[in-house]
Structure 1
């Protein structure tokens, strides 16, 4: 089947790249702060940046609904980072 046979609209131009939101930017900043440098950033650092969110309710509420204890998960992430640094 030929697409030219259909009366399709022309594709719209690609939108500007999305801008990172304040919450995501702060989580990344906290993740970088937990690492020893930009080259050492690991997933556990980013997890710590997200879990360290005190303002807002989305992260704490989602974790509570999932039955996850935030402080325990933060401790496990720190333990993982300590083991990885050996």
Structure 2
């Protein structure tokens, strides 16, 4: 697969994953979800996904406001905004 084709596949996959976040499925109106490695490979049109593929997909999703968490057999997609209100660790908490 040439680099331009690979880049388009990454961008198209990221766009579809981002759109899924707003769709209703699995009993929820929208929000975070997980996708199996098999479905992710299908979506990318690849037999295997390598670390570089996952890194590129993660960057493309981040540009769209989402975080991709690779859990080996599946991946999780969450909004970056999910993390905004998390409490922050300071030096005192570490001692």
TM-score (norm 1): 0.31
Please identify which structure carries the higher helix content: 1
Q: Which has the greater radius of gyration?
A: 1
Q: Highest relative contact order (Cα 8 Å, sep 6+), 1 or 2? A: 2
Please identify which structure carries the higher strand content: 2
TM-score (norm 2): 0.29
